[in-house]
Amino acid sequence: MTGRKLILERAVKEIQDGMCVNLGIGMPTLIANMIPEDVDVMLQSENGLLGIGAYPKETEVDPDLINAGKETVTAKAGASYFDSAESFSMIRGGHIDLAILGGMEVSGNGDLANWMIPGKMVKGMGGAMDLVQGAKRIVVIMDHVNKHGESKVKKNCTLPLTGQGVVHCLITDLAVFHFTDAGMELVELQNGVALDEVKEKTEADFTVSESLKQLD
């Protein structure tokens, strides 16, 4: 199983029945197709759609129906459409139960950097800065190391921050961490991953849960 598949399958378990959930641009949007049919959730998008469904089949594509990443989507029965001002009022008003976001770097105290790399063209900061402050729970999903083999789980983020101390849960292709006032705690290992590998590839300091488990 690929690292991305491992991340997504673990991330979908964070979604519970009755939640209002925002899925960030990129890998998180793929979770929309993985939510079990018996789990009733409302997916919300910053551009003004509450009730996003799965990605459309070729015969279902509506070019006017898109998510915040400009991808075509479907809408569930009972979906609502509104302007982005109303959407951000939902976010800033604390009405989003869970936001699952991609990450470039996460620090040991739960700082998140995910909106820009200096020197590279950025169209805008998107909604991440509002989501990390307004959503009730923030889950970040990302690869554990970058393409150069360097840890993305840092002592201190080196990229511009999206928010300080905002991450509640980090899911990577190697492990799952929870963040509390006591710091970062390793709670799960991905299938086939050894603790020594996580220690080797994690720059940040962390504790190991007494109930550490290995995912299937």
- The pLDDT of residue 85 is 93
H or E element: which one contains 169? Answer: strand 169-171
* Predicted TM-score of the model (pTM): 0.94
What pLDDT is recorded for position 110?
Answer: 98
> Catalytic: 60?
no
Write down the pLDDT at residue 69: 83
Contact predicate 86/95, CB 8 Å: no
Predicted local confidence at residue 117, as pLDDT: 77
Domains of the chain: 3-214 (3.40.1080.10)
Q: Where is 185: in which H helix or E strand? A: strand 183-189
88-94: long-range pairs with CB below 8 Å, 24+: 88/46, 88/127, 88/130, 90/20, 90/44, 90/50, 91/22, 91/44, 91/46, 91/127, 91/130, 91/131, 91/134, 91/135, 92/130, 92/133, 92/134, 93/134, 94/134, 94/135, 94/136
Per-residue confidence of the chain (216 residues) as pLDDT tens digits? 688 999 999 999 999 999 999 999 889 999 999 999 999 999 999 999 999 998 999 999 999 999 888 899 999 999 999 999 999 999 999 999 999 999 999 999 999 999 987 777 666 667 899 999 999 999 999 999 999 999 999 999 999 999 999 999 999 999 999 999 989 999 999 999 999 999 999 999 999 999 999 998
Query: What is the predicted pLDDT for the residue at 1?
Result: 64
Q: Which of 9, 14, 46, 200 is catalytic?
A: 46
What pLDDT is attached to residue 120? 74
